[in-house]
């Protein structure tokens, strides 16, 4: 007996899903950059510094996950953008401390 192929059973291309940590990295990076512009009291500067450092860390983890899951995860660009914004935010907060 020959095997019959059913119609509609061919595999559909799977779209890669966005890495959640890449999105978190962008959000934290933007927050870190905004706090360098809008420093309201010294406490916001501390939150911005923490957010910037966490953005760099989560960006590294997101890039590692994306590279490890080839074709399953996407978001390399947002992860790198968030890391760059996190670095800029951390450097500006360090170099220009609030009065």
Neighbours of 51 (CB within 10 A): 23
Mind listing the pLDDT tens digit for each residue in 9-34? 566 567 888 999 999 999 999 988 88
Give the pLDDT score at 81: 95
Model confidence, pTM: 0.75
């Amino acid at each position: 007996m020959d095997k019959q192929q059913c119609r509609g059973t061919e595999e559909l291309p799977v779209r890669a899903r966005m890495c959640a940590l890449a999105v978190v990295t962008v959000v934290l990076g933007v927050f870190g950059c905004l706090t360098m512009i809008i420093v309201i009291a010294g406490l916001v500067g501390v939150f911005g510094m923490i957010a910037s450092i966490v953005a760099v860390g989560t960006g590294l983890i997101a890039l590692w996950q994306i590279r490890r899951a080839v074709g399953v995860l996407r978001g390399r660009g947002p992860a790198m953008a968030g890391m760059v914004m996190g670095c800029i935010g951390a450097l500006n907060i360090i170099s220009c401390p609030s009065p």
